[in-house]
Every structure is written in C-alpha cells, then in structure tokens.
Amino acid sequence: MVEFDDISSSSLDTSDDDLLTRELSLIVDKGQEPIRIDKFLVNRVERISRTKFQYAAEAGSLMVNGKSVKASYKVQPLDEIFLQIPMPLGYESIKPENIPLNIIYQDEEILLINKPPGLVVHPGVGNFTGTLVNALLYHVAQLAKSKDTVKPGIVHRLDKDTSGVMIVAKDEYSLAFLAKQFFDKTNERKYIALVWGDLLDETGFVESFIGRDKHDRKKMASYSDENYGKYSYTAYKVIKRFGYVTLIECELKTGRTHQIRVHMASIGHPVFNDKRYGGDKICKGTIFSKYKQFVDNCFQVCPRQALHAATLGIIHPKHQEKMCFEAILPEDMMLLIEKWSVYVENRF
C-alpha cells in the first residue's frame, strides 16, 4: 500500500502559481492477476477514492505504458502506470466566510474570478482565515457535487500579492480535466507587468532552468545548468515605454514558481516593487530628491509587485470548446501606470 504522503509531488508551478496536483508512478508486480485499474489503484494507494481514479482516466491523466487508458482497463504484469491527479487540500474544517468575489464567469463546471492583490488563495501556516477558499466555500460550496472532498477545487494559485484571473473547478471531473491542461501546458496564460528599465527589443524571451536559490530557500533562481532547476521559457513584448520602467506582456510557455519575476530579474529588469527579487528600490534613473520622492510615491500607490494575470485560455471540461477569459487591471496598477505616464509627459 502506497501512503498518500509517499506520492511524489510534481512541481507543477506557474509563475506565481502552484498547481495542486500530484503524480504517481508504479510498476505492476509480475504475479498480478488482471483487474480493473481503478480497483487496482484503490488497493495500492491510500486516501484516494476510486471516483478520483475514474475521473483522472476520463480526463486522460491515467496512463499505462505511455498511453491513456480507461478506468475499465485491466492491468497486466509489469505494466508501468503513471497518474496525474488533483489533490485538494484538507478543507473540511475550514469555515466559509462572506468575502466578496469578483466573478468573471461561471457555469455548472467552472468558476473564474479576478483575484485582488493581498488575497491568499488557500489556508496555510499563518493564514487560516480570510482566504479565497474561505470565500469560495461561502459563495459556491452548495454547488459541490463530490462527497469525498470539499469543493470548489483549486486547480492553480497566484501569489498573495499577484492579482488576476484564476479558475476553479466545481466537480471532480472538471478538476482532473483542467489539472491536466495545466500540467501539459496546453492552456494560454498572459500576464501584464511593469518592470524596471527600458528593454532593448520590442519582443524577446528568457529561457533558463528555474530552481531554489542556493542561498535563500524562500526565493527561486535562474540557472543555465539543468541540474539546478526545471526548464522554463517566458516570451515578452513591450506594451509601453516610460523611460526608466516598461510595461510589458508576458506569455508563459512553461510554468514554474515565480517564473516571470525570476526571469525578468535575471536579465536586469525586475518587476516594479517586487521585494523578493530586488524591484523595491530604484533600479534605473539618477537618484535625486524629486525622482526618489516620485518613485517612493509609486511604491505607495502599488505596494506590491506590479504583476497581473490578465488572460487565461482553457478548453472547457464539458463542451470541449476553447474559452478565453480576461481580468481587468486592478486600481493600484492602473494608478501606477497613470503616474508614470504623467511623469514621462512632464519629464520628457
């Protein structure tokens, strides 16, 4: 029997997203008699229901010898099984809270919100109340269809201080279906960021391996050696130049923790007011009293990293059609951009 905690955690991270998904791989014993794979897995893996395995199979996340199989597939000796499965956190004891949500879209399967900055996605150490999950349980828990876990299901997450579009699944199948899209990087994710400096080209990309910083475990770092991290690719294009800062759009081709923040910092253009990666100080421009005062005022207007998840494109779990959702910029970033626009007009 495989313990739940023994299942290896796949670091399915997006820029500021941690996909709440786990992966499991195992080889069937030589003497195994043919048996449905969902029954086989229930007997081998603790604390995961047969229903979860069935939904994973429907979503194409259950594979044998490199090919997707149905839950009715009968395992054979020495079969190599690989499984990607969403594993919601233990929300059973979390209390619903009447926290307002900016809902972009919802139907019977999915819910999309524009997450405001400052909102933690799910409870954890130091954050047991006031989270997005607390709000979801208040507003949509009655729509949950699964009996073995509390819904709606968190597919991915944004950092507390990153705003923007997030998707939530309302049933087990939708959770598995969407989790596979994030895992396979088949969805579309675009972010808006204000970064320090005047980028040389109108378009470009950053390509590296992202892993834990060797000196600070709370940070991620960009490496050229694949032994120190996972492959990551961020494409960017300039939206507007302000001289000392630039407004850009970033499109994720992979998804790693803090990907945009790490990549932009690695090329000398940290996200504006990103405390963790050096964007919370004057990086470009002569430091004189009036300019310093202006930048300090900008930090106060947007007291977090100026990063916003603007677009999310997915294939709908039920009707299989592509849908694209946009989240408008929050007030703090709009005011920040306006301040830099006025500064450039007066300065230059």
> What are the φ/ψ torsions at residue 169 (nearest 5 degrees)?
-95, 140
Q: How confident is the model over 236-295, as pLDDT tens digits?
A: 999 999 999 999 999 998 888 899 999 999 999 999 999 999 999 999 988 788 999 999
**Nearest Cα to 347, choosing from 281, 291, 289, 269?**
291
Of 41-50, 184-193, 333-342, which one has max mean pLDDT? 333-342
| 183 contacts: CB under 8 Å, gap ≥ 6 | 10, 12, 19, 21, 61, 84
For the cut 60, the answer to whether the pLDDT of residue 161 exceeds it is yes
Q: How confident is the model over 194-204, as pLDDT tens digits?
A: 999 999 999 99
Q: What is the pLDDT of residue 163?
A: 97
How many CB atoms are located within 10 Å of the residue 187 CB? 21
Better-scored residue on pLDDT, 15 or 105: 105
Which region among 38-42, 156-160, 291-295 has the lowest average model confidence (pLDDT)? 156-160
For the cut 80, the answer to whether the pLDDT of residue 317 exceeds it is yes
Q: What is the mean pLDDT of the chain?
A: 85
pLDDT band at 347 (very low <50, low <70, confident <90, very high): confident
For the cut 80, the answer to whether the pLDDT of residue 4 exceeds it is no
Q: How confident is the model over 168-185, as pLDDT tens digits?
A: 988 888 888 998 898 888
Provide mean pLDDT across the span 23-39.
Answer: 90
Q: How confident is the model over 58-113, as pLDDT tens digits?
A: 888 899 998 889 999 999 999 999 987 765 545 456 788 899 999 999 999 999 99
Better-scored residue on pLDDT, 19 or 259: 259
This model's pTM is above 0.85: no
Better-scored residue on pLDDT, 125 or 10: 125
Rounded CA separation 10/229 (Å): 13
Q: How distant, in Å, are the alpha carbons of 26, 211, 251, 292 from that of 237?
A: 43, 25, 9, 28
| Residues 235 and 253: beta-carbon distance below 8 Å | yes
- Domain ranges for the chain: 4-86, 190-309+330-347
Q: What is the pLDDT of residue 87?
A: 55
pLDDT band at 51 (very low <50, low <70, confident <90, very high): confident
Please state at what angle helix 172-184 crosses helix 50-58, rounded to 10 degrees: 50
Q: What is the pLDDT of residue 20?
A: 53
For the cut 90, the answer to whether the pLDDT of residue 35 exceeds it is yes
Beta bridge partners of 115: 164
Q: What is the pLDDT of residue 150?
A: 39
| Residues 26 and 63: beta-carbon distance below 8 Å | no
pLDDT band at 219 (very low <50, low <70, confident <90, very high): very high
Of 21-25, 156-160, 204-208, 256-260, which one has max mean pLDDT? 204-208
Q: Tell me: domain 190-309+330-347, CATH 3.30.2350.10, correct?
A: yes
| 192 contacts: CB under 8 Å, gap ≥ 6 | 239, 247, 248, 249, 250, 307, 308, 310, 329, 333
| Domain range 4-86, CATH architecture | Roll (3.10)
Active site (catalytic) residues:
159
